[in-house]
Amino acid sequence: MRYCSLLLLTGVLFAATTGVQAESCTTQSGMTPQERGTLAEVGTEFATLTAAGDAEGVRSRTMPAYAQNFGGIQDAIRSAAPHLQGASFSPQTLWILDNSNAKAGADGSAQDAQFSCTLNRSAHGTTFFIPALPAGRYALVVLDSAGTAEPWQVAMLLRQSAPGTWQMGGLFPRALTAAGHDGLWYWRTARDYATKKQPWNAYVYYTEAEQLLRPVSFASSTNLDTLEEEQGKAAPPALSGGLGPQQPLVLTPAQGDEVRVTSLKAENAPDRSGTLDLLAHVQVSGPLADPIASRARNAHAAKAILAAYPELRSAFHGVWIVADLPGGGTYISE
């Protein structure tokens, strides 16, 4: 399964929100050579520690509040390190995000911050929306790996604690390909499926394209807005209101219980290089039964999905069902 890490930032939205304070953003072309050099050097040091699995090395240079609650960053390092062994790193892009003048709320809480970054004074840009961000000077550093079996990217949010000194605030490593293809390939293929009137395949491939092209979950951009607009136009009518735990896709097979689908995504097929599986999350109302009954329940869900939308058979090798159990926990089977 694909891992994702969201450490400092949760509940992210990608639109203007009331109470958001406009802050300043500096792209790498607007930085001084010293700023660019320092951020590239610090980012490479953190990425190298991540590749080596040196969680303690990262923790020693992490913002105190997050060094004390280090579980998320440690999990990100643990999951990424096997994919980054022996890697070298080069900066892909750098941003300085400054909200040093932000005022705390009436209760003393940090306020949401939105940074709008225009690229070379063009109509294209990137926006970062970070909820409850304490005042300070931050940097988002994104590095690409080289020398690994598959291309990976390591993004990190840093906070300046003193001139020239940056501490870790969030770590976001991720693969740049799925089944041997990058995000632009999935975008083009999603368009092809939309043209062929296969909206379910198009929906999943657009979703995969977005995941591979978005450097961090709290970023949006002109290109990503275009992708999301295309996905919305091509989405099946049943998903016009969205898809999630509060808006499940309800299937009623001819036999057996109804199936409530909350997510449809693509996933690398384990041990089958270059092959893609469909990953579906489903809600279940009862507790975990014995393994045989639980597996049968997941098989029923997979069959219901394929019976309702047979076009999915042409785009995926297999189906993984993640049954989300009441009170937490999951039961996963292929």
> Quick one: average pLDDT of 98-120?
89
CB atoms closer than 10 angstroms to residue 317: 14
3-state helix, strand, coil in the chain (%, to 5): 35, 30, 35
pLDDT confidence bin for 241, thresholds 50/70/90: confident
pLDDT confidence bin for 8, thresholds 50/70/90: very low
Question: DSSP code of 318?
Answer: -
Q: What is the β-pairing status of strands 319-324 and 276-283?
A: parallel
pLDDT confidence bin for 288, thresholds 50/70/90: low
Strands (E), the chain: 21-27, 88-98, 113-118, 125-130, 137-146, 152-162, 165-175, 177-178, 181-182, 219-221, 249-251, 259-268, 276-283, 319-324, 330-333
Cα diameter, the chain:
67
End-to-end CA distance of the chain: 12
Beta bridge partner(s), residue 267: 277
CA distance readout (Å), 137 to 58, 134, 238, 266: 20, 9, 44, 37
**Could you tell me the residue ranges of all domains in the chain?**
21-175, 181-333
CA distance readout (Å), 178 to 168, 268, 274: 28, 6, 8
Q: Tokens standing for 80?
A: 């990424």
What pLDDT digit, counting tens, does each position of 21-73 carry?
558 999 999 999 999 999 999 999 999 999 999 999 999 999 998 999 999 99
- Looking at residue 5, what is its pLDDT? 37
pLDDT confidence bin for 224, thresholds 50/70/90: very high
What pLDDT digit, counting tens, does each position of 189-221 carry?
999 999 999 999 999 999 999 999 999 999 999
Residue 147, classified by CB atoms within 10 Å of its CB into exposed (0-12), middle (13-18) or buried (19+), is: exposed
